[in-house]
Amino acid sequence: MTTETAALPVYSAREQTAGQRQYLIDMGRSWQEAQGATPGPVAEAVYARYVAGELTLTQVTDELVRYYAQQREAREQLGKEVAK
């Protein structure tokens, strides 16, 4: 019987602790809000997973890009169905 072990995230020197990761998220959130964007609940949930040490910043980006791409595709599909 084999068991798979998920690889632990590898963090840079500036994101070793939950406090450091939270600081980076807070800075990113401030930048987003300065640009007129407010992170939604899905983004906030992914950010929380990063702060908790479950994801790397790359994985955060990958998850959010995937989520928003799926949302865009769903809206486009709905638009096509409404146009019929």
Spell out the domain ranges in the chain. 15-83
Q: What percent of the chain has pLDDT over 90?
A: 75
- Alpha-carbon distance of 69 to 8, in angstroms, equals 26
Show the tokens assigned to 78.
């709905």
pLDDT digits (tens, 9 = 90+) for 29-52: 999 999 999 999 999 999 999 999
Give the model's pLDDT for residue 81: 75
Sorting pLDDT into bands at 50, 70 and 90, what band is 1? Answer: low
Q: What is the pTM of this model?
A: 0.80
Residue 84 has pLDDT above 90, yes or no: no
| 15-83 topology per CATH | Helicase, Ruva Protein; domain 3 (1.10.8)
Nearest to 15 by CA among 45, 60, 58, 51: 51
Residue 61 is predicted with a pLDDT of 95
